[in-house]
């Protein structure tokens, strides 16, 4: 995700053993008793039938390498968790009118529920592997490769048709968001670190945005519990006609009900007041509406058909972030101005950005993967001209710890679908 503030290997071919359809041994079946007795006492039997060969179901490998269209050849991808609307909207579940609206939406290529679900299933499979594989001692670049190679393989990366939705966030400790390792990064995950893992997958510009936090030190388990509970509250209370300012209040109340004991000192868990969830639009990670984490007077309502990332951030520090550190995240602005570029290298770089990313966020490693080199002068020029937006890391006070959890929800006409929910969380 790109939070709101008011050299990699190409996928290998699928191993033949993983991709081949298995077959059961042929079995012979004898039917009936002897029809007649011959002079020599030999019985005459019916011909034996072969049982039909059965194909075993294709299963994902570890690490994940098999494209999702091979695992779901009928093109129907799993729904997320379904939640019914509450109160005045409870009628929607059984409304014939709303069911009709939903059927029409399913058939509309601009709505593309199935593209969203394909991206979400990729996310579930990749993050499940990542959650059980990431361990202290791994380099940040190694973790990024593990995740991004999995996404590219499973989503069957194909230019702007399908691929990574935004740079993999691997923010550590007091850094809450917008850190992804640049080439040459030497940071290693430590035993006492708190790691936020934020993964984006897109299919035809429909982005699944979901995040989780890992810690290997029991000290900060309550911090993670608080932020996960706040995200769950946001998901549960979100719905058509819900006001964004009130939803923020529910999130805040949940998170602030937790405390963390660090070195004998009890610290409150604070929602980070200048980060937020957001709507997601096609090829645009921020669609315009924001779900803040502290109660406010925003009367804006959630609407039918909208697609929201409900993400919450908690901190043991001041509960407010500032920009700090080396930039890795960038995106071409949706409303970028048409300005004359005096640097030939900037023109060439912009052409590459438009071809490879459009308005999707990217990082410097992705530019290098696309073949760009010695691009920093051109990149800084595009930023200074207001064509490209840079997103520096967002950090609370040093010494504090931050956590993040996030799910993507689809406000369908009949019910709410938590598209990114899986059995891991």
Binding residues for substrate: 178, 286
Pick out the residues of the known binding site for a divalent metal cation. 198, 209, 278, 311, 406
Pick the catalytic residue from 286, 329, 381, 407: 286
Q: What is the pairing mode between strands 394-395 and 175-177?
A: antiparallel
Pick the catalytic residue from 123, 174, 202, 278: 278
Residue spans of alpha helices (H) in 238-306: 244-255
Pick the catalytic residue from 209, 232, 273, 306: 209
Quote the CA–CA distance of 234 and 251 in Å, as a whole number: 6
Q: Which of 146, 154, 75, 149 is nearest to 119 (CA)?
A: 154
Pick the catalytic residue from 198, 306, 372, 396: 198
Quote the CA–CA distance of 129 and 302 in Å, as a whole number: 33
- Give catalytic status of residue 209 as yes or no: yes
Pick out the residues of the known binding site. 178, 198, 209, 278, 286, 311, 406
Q: Using the structure block, give the residue that is written with the tokens 């690490």.
A: 63
- Give catalytic status of residue 381 as yes or no: no
Quote the CA–CA distance of 176 and 285 in Å, as a whole number: 18
**Tokens encoding 293:** 């984490």
Q: Which of 146, 122, 150 is nearest to 133 (CA)?
A: 146
| Residue ranges of E strands in 147-193 | 162-169, 175-177
Q: Using the structure block, give the residue that is written with the tokens 């929910």.
A: 421
**Number of helices and strands (H, E) in the chain?**
10, 20
- Give catalytic status of residue 278 as yes or no: yes
Pick the catalytic residue from 102, 273, 306, 311: 311
Cβ–Cβ under 8 Å, residues 415 and 205: no
Report the catalytic residues.
Answer: 198, 209, 278, 286, 311, 406
């Amino acid at each position: 995700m790109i939070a709101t503030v008011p050299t990699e290997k190409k996928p290998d071919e699928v191993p033949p053993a993983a991709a081949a359809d298995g077959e059961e041994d042929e079995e012979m079946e004898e039917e009936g008793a002897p029809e007649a007795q011959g002079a020599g006492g030999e019985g005459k039997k019916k011909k034996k039938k072969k049982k039909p060969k059965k194909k075993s179901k294709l299963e994902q490998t570890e690490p994940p390498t098999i494209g999702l269209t091979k695992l779901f050849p009928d093109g129907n991808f799993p729904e997320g968790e379904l939640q019914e609307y509450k109160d005045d909207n409870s009628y929607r579940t059984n409304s014939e009118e709303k069911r009709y609206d939903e059927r029409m939406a399913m058939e509309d290529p601009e709505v593309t529920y199935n593209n969203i679900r394909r991206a979400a299933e990729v996310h579930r499979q990749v993050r499940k592997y990542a959650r059980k594989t990431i361990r202290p001692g791994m380099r940040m670049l190694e973790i990024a490769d593990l995740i991004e190679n999995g996404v590219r393989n499973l989503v069957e990366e194909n230019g702007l048709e399908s691929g990574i939705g935004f740079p993999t966030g691997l923010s550590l400790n007091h850094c809450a968001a917008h850190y992804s390792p640049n080439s040459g990064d030497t940071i290693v995950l430590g035993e006492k670190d708190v790691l936020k893992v934020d993964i984006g997958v897109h299919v035809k510009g429909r982005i699944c945005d979901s995040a989780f936090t890992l810690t290997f030190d029991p000290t900060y388990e309550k911090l993670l519990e608080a932020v996960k509970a706040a995200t769950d509250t946001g998901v549960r209370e979100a719905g058509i006609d819900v006001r964004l300012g009130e939803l923020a209040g529910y999130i805040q109340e949940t998170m602030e009900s937790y405390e963390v004991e660090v070195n004998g000192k009890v610290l409150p868990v604070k929602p980070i007041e200048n980060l937020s969830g957001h709507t997601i639009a096609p090829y645009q990670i921020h669609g315009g509406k924001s779900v803040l984490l502290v109660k406010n007077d925003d009367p804006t309502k959630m609407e039918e058909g909208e697609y929201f990332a409900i993400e919450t951030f908690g901190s043991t520090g001041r509960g407010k972030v500032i920009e700090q550190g080396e930039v890795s995240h960038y995106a071409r602005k949706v409303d970028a101005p048409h300005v004359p570029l005096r640097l030939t290298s900037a023109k060439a770089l912009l052409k590459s950005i438009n071809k490879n990313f459009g308005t999707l966020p990217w990082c410097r490693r992705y530019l290098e993967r696309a073949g760009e080199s010695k691009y920093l002068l051109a990149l800084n020029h595009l930023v200074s001209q207001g064509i490209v937006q840079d997103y520096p890391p967002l950090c609370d006070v040093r010494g504090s710890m931050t956590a993040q959890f996030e799910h993507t929800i689809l406000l369908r006409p009949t019910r709410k679908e938590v598209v990114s929910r899986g059995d891991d969380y």
